[in-house]
Every structure is written in structure tokens, then in C-alpha cells.
Chain A
Amino acid sequence: MNDAPDNSASPGTWFRPGFFLGGLLAGIVALAGAGQWAGRHNTHPGTERFHPRISPEGRYSPTVDELCAIVRARCRPDQILVIVGGNSIFNGVGQPPEKLWTLELQKQLGDGFGVVNLALRGAGCTEGATVIAEVLRNEYPRIIYVTNTSPFTPPEPLGVQAYEYIFWEAYYRGLLVDFAPRDEQLNKYVRPPESPLPLVHYLQKDRAALIEIEHFKVVAWLRRLGLRAEVGLDAALKYRDLWNWMGYEHLFTVPSFYTPRWPGWMAARGRLRDEEPDFETMDFTSSERFAPRKTPIEMPIVRGFSERAYTEGGPEGWTLNAPVRNDFLAGAKRAVPDVFKSRTLVMLSRNSPFFFHMLSPAEARRDDLAYRDGAAAWREAGYASAEYGRDFLDEDFGDRTHLTASGGRKLAGITAREITALAERLGYFKEAGK
């Protein structure tokens, strides 16, 4: 430190640049160290899932280290790790925390398995939680990833923008398996321009000189560059881990849709209860839940599950459209590295029978074919797959797609059987017996 002991160099000033810089550097190093610690210790005790106020919806974005810490806190190394991903259905919308379907799944699978629900509302089937399964591949060699989707929805490594940060963080930190088909897909989204000229034009704000595709490429390339820099900076300084821990344990600093008013938005996220309503005790009857006014909105969605994929005709009444099948298979092959495909169980989610029974017989036949062929296509791409919900009752659904606690119990039973069979096929029980 270049500090004058007799104060003669600058007698009237208190500011010492050397000590200031020392404080700044020491502070940054200490904060980075604290962030490193926080990422390993922010395990969300007492919460079973990401309810809206501790998810990106509530402006709380869990980091990769944090998600891994949550898994480690809930699954012992001697257990078979079951990571549950997928969307709001698997997140358990309509099931209060004590009736959450994954608690039942844990119960049915028994102590040999450790079930962790990392599903996020609105997420695709191969994003968010999938990344964490891949990151933890060496720590938990006996791992099964369970997710849900609808038939012939092509999976993507990047899905909903709100959750893609999880992928990019793991990707740029080198935590994922090298998988060329996925990289090729990512390059299609965000590849660099073929010449530096568009970049110069972009920087000069001469956007009119750019043809649309070049403009897209430059913006995407700059975005990817920014993402890489951001991930690198955060990996070094750990600011997201530290401030997430602060927000979860002590004081949150970001207003959100769910906690818009002061001082409510400052409450530690860990003290906010999971207030998911219970479809079974909500103040509405089944007939109101599936009110006639909702039918014109819901039925096109129900029909849409199979409408695009099939053309009338053929021995079964409907023929699967080849481009739909091919698009799906191409997406499924590049979404997850080959080594994880066999460890991934994709559950195809049916719509409520209340709506299914409003389909014409031909449409119902097409719907059945879509689920049968959809699961077969996942298996052809190397995954395990099954469907659920065909024999469920109206009261097993809280709306068109989300399950009540009774539906959740049925889902848990079907999924537990599929997981056990998959664990058997993967030889996990033999490994445990060694």
C-alpha cells in the first residue's frame, strides 16, 4: 500500500487510494468466496418444489450450483437419484405441498430412491431439470430423469427463455457432456456472422444495410458472446449464488408480480409458504371447474394434441404425417446426449376425460393413436416412455390438464412402476447389490 505515514503527501485528505483498492479487491474476493459457499449451502430446506415465489416467475432464478445443492440435500449417494422435470403438471399445480404427487412417488419407490422435484411451470420437457441431471452424472451414476410432455412435441435443448439461463450456465462452465448434434442445433440459433461486415454495420447502427438474416445472426452472436461473458463473470465472482442465498435466507431485494408491494417483496423467499391451492378443496364444484363457457376454449387445445400429426385414412382410420414424425425424431435425437436418453423417462400427459369424452369417436381414436405412436417414437429415439391419464376420472383433474391430489397419486403409481422397470433395465439394482 502506497500510504504516507506522516500524512505529508496529502495532509488534508482522508482518501488513501492504495487502501481503497485493497478494500475493493479484498471485498470482491470475500464476496466471491461467500458466493461459492452460498451456492453449496442454499438447499431450500422445507420446500418440495419451485413454487412461483421461488422461481423465475417471482424473479428468483436458482443457479446451477444451487439446484445441485438441493439435489445433494435430498438424495444420498447410495440412493438411485430420480430428478423430476417437466412443466406445471409435474410441478404439481393444484396440489398443496403436503399432497404433492412426488411425495407419493417417493413413498412408492421407497428408500432405495431419492426423488427431487425440479419441475418448473411452463418448462419444456428437456430444459432446466434435464441440465442438472446431466451435471450430476458422475456424482450420481445411478440416475433417472423423469419428465412430461404431449405427443410429438419436438424437444429442444433451449426452451422457454425464462429458464434457458440454466442451460447456458452449465454449458459455458463446461459442466455438460460434449454432444455434437446439440451444438449444431445451438449454432443454428446463435451462430456468428459469416463476415465481420454485418457486425460493423450493426455497431454503426446502420441496420438498414443488413439483410434480415444477417441482422439476426449478428444479434444472436452478440447475445451469445454476452451470455458467455456473463457466465464467466458469475463463475468467477459468484454474485448470483450469494444474492440468491441472501434473498432466500435473509432479505430479498427484487419486487415481483407475486410480491409487488413493499415491504412484502423484501421478505426472505425461504419464509414465504408454498401457497399452491388445493383443487380438491377449492370452492368450486366439478361442473364449475369445467364450466361450459370454457369448453370452446379448451376443445381446440384438446383436438390440437393430435390434429396436426394425422391425416384421415389408412388401416387404423388415421395416418401419422411423416414430416411431423421426422421433425419430432430429429429433435428428440439432438435434445439430450445419447448416454442420457436411456436414463430419461418421458411421460405423455393426457387431457382430462371430461374434455376427451367430448371428442367425436374418430377424434378420440386419433387421440389414442397419438399417445400410442408418440410414446413409441420416444422409444425409437432411445428414451423410455409411457402415457398416463387415459383411465383417470373427471375428479382426478383440476382443470383440463393439471391433476388433483387423487390424480397425482395415480400418476405416482404409474410413474413408480415405470421408474422401477427402467432402473431394472439399466442394471441399477445389480450395481446396488455389489
Chain B
Amino acid sequence: MNVWWEKISAEWPPALKLWVARGLSVALGLVLAITLHYVLYRMGLPSKPFIYVSF
């Protein structure tokens, strides 16, 4: 999981590495928040669509 991270951050100063890691973690949290929020919206939609028929 972290091979790519090791590879791209190998030459970075420790402070930069730290802040990028923090930023990525926050971003992942935000993405998950948006996903959860949207999934709740979709789950709230009726499973059967309503088709109006005049009578």
C-alpha cells in the first residue's frame, strides 16, 4: 500500500513528507464524507419510481 508513497517521498524533506501525509489523510476523510453524504441521499430515494397515470 505504501510502496508508491515511499517511492515518491523518498527524497522529500521530513517536514514536507509530514504535511503531505497529513493533507492526503484529510483529503481522504473529506472524500469519504462526501461519499457517505451522497450514499445517504441515494438510499433515501424511493426504490420504485412513481409513474403517474391519469384516471
A residues near B, CB below 8 A? 1, 3, 5-7, 12-28, 30-31, 52, 56-57, 59, 61, 88, 93, 121-122, 160-162, 165, 230, 233-234, 237, 239-240, 242-243, 253-254, 256-257, 301, 399, 401-402
Contact = CB atoms under 8 A, between A and B. Distances in A.
A12 B55 contact: no
Given A239-B41, A239-B44, A240-B44, A160 B30 contact: no
Interface in B1-31: 1-2, 5-6, 9, 14, 17-18, 20-22, 24-31
A133 B41 CA distance: 25
Contact of A59 (B26, B49, B55): B49
Interface of B: 1-2, 5-6, 9, 14, 17-18, 20-22, 24-34, 36-38, 40-42, 44-46, 49-55
A26 B41 CA distance: 19
Contacts of B44: 230, 234, 239-240
Contacts of B26: 19-20, 22-23, 26
Contacts of B29: 19-27
B14 to A, nearest CB: 6
B33 A24 contact: yes
A6 B37 contact: no
Given A16-B21, A257-B49, A401-B54, A23 B41 contact: no
22 contacts: A3-B22, A5-B18, A12-B2, A13-B5, A14-B5, A14-B21, A19-B25, A22-B26, A22-B29, A23-B25, A23-B28, A26-B30, A27-B34, A56-B50, A57-B49, A122-B52, A162-B50, A230-B44, A233-B40, A239-B41, A240-B41, A243-B38
Contacts of B51: 57, 257
A355 to B, nearest CB: 14
Contacts of A5: 18
Contacts of A237: 37, 40
A142 to B, nearest CB: 33
B29 to A, nearest CB: 2
Given A16-B21, A239-B40, A162 B54 contact: no
A122 to B, nearest CB: 5
Most buried by A among B2, B9, B41: B41
